[in-house]
Amino acid sequence: MSVEPQGLDFAGTLRAQRSFDAAWLVFNDHLRAHGVSHALYAQLPSVRVRSISREMIYHATYPEGFTRRYASEGMIDHDPRAHYCESDAEAPLYWNRPGDTLAADPEARDVLGLCEDFGLAFGMTLPLKGRSRLNRSGMGLAFDARTLAQAEEILAASEGAILSAAALFHALAQTPDIAADMIRLSLRERECLLWSAAGLRNKEIAFRLSIAEKTVEHHMASAMTKLHAVNRTHAVARALILGLIAPCPAATSLA
């Protein structure tokens, strides 16, 4: 199977990026060239006790007003497309195709109405596998389309390129350094989480890293906030599930 030169250029450029923001920019530039106007990329634990909006870690290029209501104010919790990413489905879910049942209940209709208000009626949701079975990922890609016919034209011309780009970006975003950068975890925060996972208490971590115990407490509290964790144990578990911490040359042994 042949690969378009544009696709090869994109893959090479994407793999050369060393930060999440840089990779996200390259990815979205490529998407726009193929008719995708906005994107959301999210990670979510497959086992959760809180709502999607409280557990989800995400980045989005959607309009600020939409993102505030959809993600921050919890409308995503009623979006059947978000729940689709929690299922075992692997195929894309297309928005507003004839015969779909996405607006089966009033709260779902409110979500879809919000999308239409912001010109985000057509697109597709991509369920993505995480680094482990305990982690789910997904993308919501809105098309630069005002009608179903325009959306179908984008799919006919670029569906393969969009799906390939999404898979490449997701693979890069799952690597430990890029994943940690997505969540804005600092090196010190990752080190504290790593040693906590090894069973050390704050005083022992402080000694290991040659920093003050209060500094360790600060780093752990910051990591908890960034990981949407309710306590220290939850933060360590989420970091492990998301593949954010792993042994490094400076932290391979307690000896």
Reading across the β-sheet that carries 57-60, which strands appear in turn? 57-60, 36-45, 135-143, 123-129, 93-94
Sorted by sequence, the CB contacts under 8 Å of residue 39 that are 6+ apart come out as 27, 28, 31, 60, 61, 62, 139, 140, 141, 142
For the segment 85-113, what is each residue's pLDDT rounded down to a tens digit?
988 899 999 998 887 777 668 888 899 89
* Ordered alpha helix ranges (H), the chain: 5-15, 20-32, 52-55, 64-67, 80-84, 106-117, 148-173, 176-182, 187-197, 202-209, 213-226, 232-241
Bridge partner list, 60: 40
For the segment 30-85, what is each residue's pLDDT rounded down to a tens digit?
999 999 999 999 998 888 888 999 889 999 999 999 999 998 888 999 999 999 99
The phi and psi torsions of 175 (rounded to 5 degrees) equal -70, 145
Say which DSSP state 248 is in.
B
- Please tell me the pTM assigned to this model: 0.86
